[in-house]
Amino acid sequence: MYQDGDVILGGLFEVHFFTVFPELSFRTEPEPPYCEKFDMESFQQAQTMAFAIDEINNNQNLLPNITLGYHLYDNCVMLGMAFRAAISLVSGTEERLSNLNCTGPSPVIGIVGDPGSTPSIAISSVLGLFRVPIVSHYATCSCLSDRKKYPSFFRTIPSDAFQVRAMIQILRHFGWTWVGLLYSDDDYGIYASVSFKQEMQLFGGCVAFSEILPHDNNPKDIRHIIGVIQASTARVLVVFSTSSYLMNLMDEVVLQNLTGRQWIASEAWATSPVFHTSRFLPFLGGTLGIAIRRGEIQGLQEFLLRLCPSNDPRNNMLKIFWENMFRCSFKTEGATTDGGQVKKLCTGQEDLIITNTPYTDVSGLRAAYNVYKAVYALAHALHDLMQCEEGIGPFSGNRCANITNLKPWQLVHYLQKVNFTTGFGDHVSFDKNGDALAIYDVLNWQPFSDGSIRVYTVGVVNEGAGNGKPPRSVCSESCPPGTRKAMRKGLPVCCFDCLPCADGQISNTTDTIECTACPDEFWSNPDKDQCVPKDVEFLSYEDPLGISLTTASLLGICICTLVMVIFAHHRNTPIVRANNSELSFLLLLSLKLCFLCVLLFIGRPKLWTCQLRHAVFGISFVLCVSSILVKTMVVIAVFKSSRPEGKGQMKWFGVAQQRCTVLVLTALQVVICAVWLSTASPTPHKNNQYTRSKIVYECAIGSVAGFSMLLGYIGLLAAVSFLLAFLARNLPDNFNEAKFITFSMLIFCAVWISFVPAYVSSPGKYAVAVEIFAILASSFGLLVAIFAPKCYIILLHPERNTKKAIMGRETQNK
């Protein structure tokens, strides 16, 4: 179903029960799969989304001057279909692109759905990478509360973790401590069963047996489960399952005349009408169930009854609904049959008022009410986004989102903070995991005069706002510190729920309605009744990571010192004197400075350390790379001067010229650092954007341009050194230091190319650690690649450290 608008919302619903895949001939293009067995209740949920969007478009106080549209898909209770639909929503369905630059707004800025846990896990795993907001109305798996795996997933239905606690409260109330457990073979059942077993242990109860309901409804497995139930002494059976998994088991319960059991139903089947018949009354009468909160939506029934079929191919679902509702067909060619009977022709003028189906029944809106809340949550988030003022926005550079080029990830920021009340009086907000306030109705299945089962709401369980502490229901005028009052609908005025304050908020008084946010540099204590200073995080010398990096730095300094001692002791030998020994000592000194500068990056940031760390780092590395560059140029010059046509060239590149070249190249980096420090100097900065409960103390670089020029200049010198050394790599062996320089520059460039993306994506102190690692890795690479071969000859093969041996290799090569 489709309706155009300025901003489009996507929707995923289970309008059909089954997916049929045509046979493959492998000779023609495969036909697309199609769906069968229409579900009126799910179609009502899809229409509820259309109603909510229509209601918002007519509300002048919410999203004025913005028209919402929708694009709704049927997932046919099939993971592949649901995933295909979700990808179509976020990427568009057009085969050709009108905008080759791939700019502009996304096809949809948010998705309502999917109702199933398994499809939601798959879809959120992919779309979460792009921070596309997904608000499910029926996916309850507790695994979806993992913010690291599903960073943009929200839901208006409570997590199974809260449902399990609600069930435990019922068991505790009646004193039932010996129970059997049945659960469906999917993510919903498996995760719920694990949570239930853990909570039962804490409660002090025991699970007599635990059986999986087979997804293929194998009769042998069903009979095995019935046998386990009959053999067990447990008379209370807790079932986490959807109706489709449970139907065959209940048929077997009737065949085996399995009575005398107290069934506890999860929300997935507690309100299912398929079991509310006289056939199941002797077995399921008295069942207690947990159901999601029932709501009322004013004007929905009138909207549902006004529905008409459409000829628009993008709204083909309306025709499918009409054909299923009135047992007719819009096809005029060929006779369509229904159970052997020829279907009548649909006119489009049939009257929905005379029908009596789950589609028109609005007396117990539960899933549909969650859809309604999900649409309004996205609308309120979009409304808050539009209220942003430039200069104080939440995005980079204090900017606001651009409504004409809105990105889905920008909406996630505002969706996390939505806070509103529905027309029915229910409060809607999300906790830090994207979970909604957990409120359940407790149902009891009782026999009715016609022999069927009627479901009555006999209680309400409120499991809190998802902060890990369920609220305490009280009927008094006060709440304990660390909580806030929230009036319970339908109860006396004096009755409140004491809801825990969110992280970072406190309440010190006993009659507060709203929690108070702590100042920027403070956070709430565990009792939520006092603001305490936030923990300050930086890379310290006491930190294990800081200790490791400091140790590596000192090790590098010691190795450099050792090599200098070896070279000084053997300074008159040919291997040291070759290719200007003065440059070798200068290179070792610069490497020592590179290792030393690491110590400026560790410890609590101060003004002088922030200013010195990058300056010393930049100058040290330029001194190092320029020495290598000059050594490479000397190699080439010496080789050319050994040829008859190149005699006399070395006089133009003697020791004085070599020193001057190193000094000039290093002086340029000194100028860059001086300009950077004098115009936009790095300063200590307290950053609370990475983690709200901590302050990350770091050095703000001050000028991105200055830092980029510093790194760019080093990269330029390294690239030139690598190019020259690479070109000179095939010189005779007595000049083959170019090979080692080539290898050292290759390591150096690889390290610093990898550094940029790693540095940008690392938060807080880990960005500092990444920069230190790059300094250490490149310094050790240069040290080992250039000096290890020389030390090897000096210490282990002194017979090769003679002028005769070197000249012998030269003669042999010639």
Q: Please, are residues 183 and 192 in contact by the beta-carbon 8 Å criterion? A: yes
Ramachandran angles phi, psi of 630, nearest 5°: -65, -40
Assess if residue 475 is contained within a domain: no
Assess if residue 811 is contained within a domain: no
Beta strands of 214-311 (E only): which ranges? 236-240, 262-265, 288-292
The verdict on 197 and 130 lying in the same domain is no
Cα distances (angstroms) measured from residue 707 to each of 597, 618, 797? 16, 9, 45
CA–CA dist 425, 680 (Å, integer): 53
Q: Are β-strands 178-184 and 206-213 bridged in parallel, bridged antiparallel, or unpaired? A: parallel
pLDDT of residue 8: 93
The distance from CA 749 to its chain's CA centroid, rounded to whole angstroms, is 32
User: What residues in the chain have per-residue pLDDT under 70?
Assistant: 93-106, 333-341, 449-450, 456, 458-459, 463-504, 506-507, 509-514, 579-580, 640-653, 729-736, 805-814
- Three-state DSSP state, 429: strand
The verdict on 495 and 511 lying in the same domain is yes
The verdict on 261 and 242 lying in the same domain is yes
- Three-state DSSP state, 805: helix
Q: Kindly state the tokens that stand for 379.
A: 């609308």
Assess if residue 812 is contained within a domain: no
The verdict on 572 and 678 lying in the same domain is yes
The verdict on 64 and 196 lying in the same domain is no
CA–CA dist 418, 696 (Å, integer): 27
Ramachandran angles phi, psi of 327, nearest 5°: 50, 45
CA–CA dist 74, 116 (Å, integer): 12
Q: Please, are residues 68 and 7 in contact by the beta-carbon 8 Å criterion? A: yes
Q: Tens of pLDDT along 518-559?
A: 887 888 887 777 888 888 888 888 889 999 999 999 999 999
The verdict on 64 and 140 lying in the same domain is yes
- Domain range holding 82? 2-17+32-94+104-158+296-331+347-429
Assess if residue 772 is contained within a domain: no
CA–CA dist 298, 380 (Å, integer): 19
The verdict on 631 and 705 lying in the same domain is yes
CA–CA dist 691, 777 (Å, integer): 29
The verdict on 609 and 707 lying in the same domain is yes
The verdict on 133 and 197 lying in the same domain is no
Which residues, at least 6 apart from 651, have a Cβ–Cβ distance to it below 8 Å? none
Which residues, at least 6 apart from 356, have a Cβ–Cβ distance to it below 8 Å? none
Cα distances (angstroms) measured from residue 452 to each of 102, 275, 279, 456? 58, 9, 8, 13
Assess if residue 114 is contained within a domain: yes
The verdict on 603 and 720 lying in the same domain is yes
Cα distances (angstroms) measured from residue 501 to each of 435, 512, 627? 15, 11, 61
Which string of b and e fits 193-216 if b means at least 16 CB within 10 Å? bebbeebbeeeebebbeebbbbee
Overall pTM surpassing 0.85 (yes/no): no
DSSP state of 606: -
Q: At what angle do helices 581-597 and 655-679 cross, to 10 degrees?
A: 20
Assess if residue 181 is contained within a domain: yes
Q: Kindly state the tokens that stand for 659.
A: 């020193």
Name the domain boundary from 472, 501, 533. Answer: 533
The verdict on 551 and 413 lying in the same domain is no
Which residues, at least 6 apart from 396, have a Cβ–Cβ distance to it below 8 Å? none
- How many residues in total does the chain contain? 814
> 584: domain CATH number?
1.20.1070.10
For 313-373, the three-class secondary structure string (H helix, E strand, C coil) is HHHHHHHHHHHHHHCEECCCCCCCEECCEECEECCCCCCHHHCCCCCCCCCCECHHHHHHH
**What are residue 329's DSSP bridge partners?**
345
Q: Which residue has the tokens 């800081």?
A: 546
CA–CA dist 208, 800 (Å, integer): 81
CA–CA dist 177, 57 (Å, integer): 52
pLDDT of residue 645: 58
> 83: domain CATH number?
3.40.50.2300
Which string of b and e fits 663-696 if b means at least 16 CB within 10 Å? eebbeebeebbeebbeebbbeeeeeeeeeeeebb
The verdict on 154 and 164 lying in the same domain is no
Q: Please, are residues 347 and 332 in contact by the beta-carbon 8 Å criterion? A: no
Total domain count, the chain: 4
Q: Please, are residues 113 and 11 in contact by the beta-carbon 8 Å criterion? A: yes
Assess if residue 476 is contained within a domain: no
Assess if residue 58 is contained within a domain: yes
Q: Kindly state the tokens that stand for 513.
A: 């309605």
